[in-house]
Chain A
Amino acid sequence: MDASLTLSPIPDAPPPGASRGGRSLHRFANPGRFLRISGAILPALSIAAFAITAAGLAWGLLFAPADWQQGDAMRIMYVHVPAAWLASGGYFGLAVCSVLSLVWRHPLADLAAAEIGPVGAGFTALCLATGSLWGKPMWGAWWVWDARLTSVLILFFLYCGHVALVRAFDDPQRGYRAGAILALVGVVNLPIIKFSVDWWNTLHQPASITLTGSPTMAASMLWPLLVCAIGYTLVFAAIVTARTRAAVMERRIRGLLMARAEAAA
């Protein structure tokens, strides 16, 4: 039995006073509709995500050339860099969901934000761990209090704080609201992470790929990196979608159980 069919629909009408943008957003706020659409795309998304990631990792590990200075340790980049991009990108997604939640009271934005938090924390931890594994052979240290490393560590703490805060209240709505405020305050850390290597004299190398300039790495290394980045981004999206689907169903279960308890009382 497909649970998406059992969800009673939430009216498409936005809350009174919602703006035009809010009205169009609320068209996609129906949990039943979200489950139907996400259920249709999730299998293909998951298969593509894991296939592209596996291909990118195999390309980077087996076929990409070693760096003339760093040797094979440079191959850690194929895991580390996508994880770093997703740590920041995931937090940006968390902030967007927080705006949607605070301004337009989008019902799925709360759930999506709550589900992005742990996944973002996991990818930030992955970034820090692989960075450490790269740093030991290259710098001779597992960790240095460098501006880039420290700002990413703060990002990890922000994610952990969001995860804890969202789940700290008996009333989930208060938790979502507190988490959204924390997420928006923490956005200030994203430009610090991005520009830390330019603003301070850091041990961490500056960006090799920028939006404005040409990349400073060979195409034979750049292509597998881009494939890994696309693959990991799809993995992140698939995981968050799957977790949000589960959260929608769990909210429905809580609603049914509470209705039953009230009826029995």
Chain B
Amino acid sequence: MTHAGFIAASYALGMLVPAFFAVTAWTRTKSARRRLAALDTRRASRA
């Protein structure tokens, strides 16, 4: 395969960029869900 290094670098970027955004979105959602659940539990226990 000609220019294998350039092709490998392109495909690596093509997978890493979406993977980075997917992982950060997943961790943000997980963290927000946990914090929201904790806040709602505290609010319910006060009421």
Q: State the A residues within 8 Å of B (CB).
A: 1-3, 6, 46, 53, 57, 61, 66, 71-73, 75-76, 78-80, 83, 118-119, 122-123, 125-126, 129-130, 133-134, 136-137, 232, 235-236, 238-239, 242-243, 245-246, 249-250, 252-253, 256-257
Contacts and interface: CB of A to CB of B under 8 A. Distances in A.
A78 B15 CA distance: 12
Interface string B1-23: 11110110111011101101110
Interface of B: 1-4, 6-7, 9-11, 13-15, 17-18, 20-22, 25-26, 28-29, 32-33, 35-37, 39-41, 43
Contacts of A136: 6
B5 to A, nearest CB: 9
Given A3-B37, A6-B37, A72-B2, 4 more contacts: A72-B4, A129-B10, A137-B3, A242-B29
A189 B34 CA distance: 41
A92 to B, nearest CB: 19
Contacts of A242: 22, 25-26, 29
A53 B22 CA distance: 14
A162 B37 CA distance: 31
Contacts of A71: 2-3
Given A232-B18, A239-B22, A76 B10 contact: yes
Q: Is the interface of A mostly helix, strand, loop or mixed?
A: helix
Given A57-B14, A119-B21, A122-B17, A246 B32 contact: yes
B33 A73 contact: no
Contact of A6 (B15, B18, B36): B36
Contact of A253 (B11, B15, B39): B39
A1 B1 contact: no
A255 to B, nearest CB: 10
Nearest to B21: A239
A245 B26 CA distance: 10
B7 A246 contact: no
A73 B7 contact: yes
B10 A133 contact: yes
